[in-house]
Amino acid sequence: MSVYKVIEIIGRSKKSWEDAAASAVETAAKTLEDIRIAEVKELDMKVDKGKVIEYRAKLSVSFKYDKERMLEDRATVLKGKRSLE
């Protein structure tokens, strides 16, 4: 039996909402194992002086939850041995 965890992430792009969403998933995939679903929950944009300057996409992402690995990763990050980015 597998257990999955769901988190929210936000991606940004100067080009499009699609790029913002893809960027968020690709960045999350660097530290999350076995991402299964990414669901776009919200789209918005930053506007400055009437011009769109940034697209943002908020997503819910589900990934396989491995409690043991999560605790090991957290301990490593807290010791300063690994960055989450």
* pLDDT of the residue at 82: 53
**Would the pLDDT of 83 be above 60?**
no
Checking if the pLDDT of 85 tops 70, the result is no
pLDDT for 25-35, tens place per residue? 999 999 888 89
pLDDT value, residue 59: 98
pLDDT of 50 above 70: yes
Mean pLDDT of the region 36-64:
96
Per-residue pLDDT, averaged over 19-43, amounts to 94
Domains and CATH numbers, the chain: 4-78 (3.30.1660.10)
| Long-range contacts, 22-31 (Cβ 8 Å, 24+) | 24/57, 24/59, 24/61, 25/59, 25/61, 27/85, 28/61, 28/63, 30/85, 31/73, 31/84
